[in-house]
Structures are given as structure tokens and as C-alpha cells.
Amino acid sequence: MAESRQITGQCLCGAVTVTAQVTNPIVRACHCEMCRQHTSSMFISLATDPHSEAFTGPAKSFQSSEWAERGFCEKCGSTLWYGTKHDGVKNLSAGLFENAANAQLKLEFFVDNCPQGYSLAGDHKRLTTDQTIALFAPQEGTTE
């Protein structure tokens, strides 16, 4: 069985420190328009044990839609997380952690929304917009 371990990450300026527990760390890339605007390319998040994260420092959040928020450092602007409001889950930015916590890329969301000038290599799972929405549809139904 995989064991849970604690990881620690920091934003660019070091004002925000985040700790979390990971069991089987993987990363996921999202090419949706909001993630692209927020990060310049794609948002790569690290799967951590739910609700295990803790922040110190000026971590703020911006409500980017009815159901989601995006965390950032108030001082340097580093992307900290993508969070869903209905369950309070925060998907942490992989870039906060050294070597992305040694996690492997397993999943891409909204691949048909990725600009044609670049792509991610590897044989991970790739979900189109329709497939991504279908995956999260049950949760969207609970946001009213």
C-alpha cells in the first residue's frame, strides 16, 4: 500500500508556504480558457489528499466562476490553487513543489482547447471538452 507523506511548497516570493499530504501523487493539466488566462499556458495541478492542505502567508482567492475559485499569492501573484466551492477541494499548483513532488502526468483536460502550437508528450489520458464536462457534470448539478 502506498503511504501518505507530507510535502511543502512555496510561491515565487516565499511569502506563502503550503503543506499537504500526498499518497499517490499525479499531476493533471487543464487547457480551459480560464486556466490559460490565469497561468499563461495550462494549469498543472498536483493531486493531494483532500483537505490536507494548509497555507501560511498572504494566500488570497479570486472567484472565477459560480462554482470555482483560484488562489494566488497577494504579494507575488503566484498561482496557488484551483478550488471548487461546493466541496472546498483545492487542487494545488504543481509548480509550488520541487520537481512537482515527483508526480507523473496522468490526465489532460480540454485537450481540444489546447493551442495548436504546442502539446504535451506521453501516453497519459486525454479528455476532450465534452469528456471533461461529462466527468464533472454530477458536481455541477449541486452548485445551485
- List interacting residues with Zn ion (CB under 5 A): 11, 13, 15, 73, 75-76
DSSP H or E stretch at residue 131: helix 129-140
Note whether 34 and 15 are within 8 A (CB). Answer: no
Least gap, CB of 31 to Zn ion (angstroms): 25
Contact 39, 31 (CB under 8 A): no
Closer residue to Zn ion in complex, CB, 60/75 = 75
Q: What is the DSSP code (8-state) at residue 101?
A: G
In the bound state with Zn ion, the residue whose beta carbon lies nearer, of 81 and 110, is 81
Smallest separation (angstroms) from Zn ion to the CB of 100:
18
Which residues, other chains included, contact 83 with Cβ-Cβ below 8 Å and sequence gap of 6+?
61, 68, 69, 70, 71, 89, 90, 91
CB of 99 to Zn ion, least distance (A): 20
Handedness of CA 108, 112, 114, 117 (dihedral sign): positive
CB of 136 to Zn ion, least distance (A): 29
Closer residue to Zn ion in complex, CB, 75/85:
75
Q: Nearer to Zn ion by C-beta: 93 or 132?
A: 93
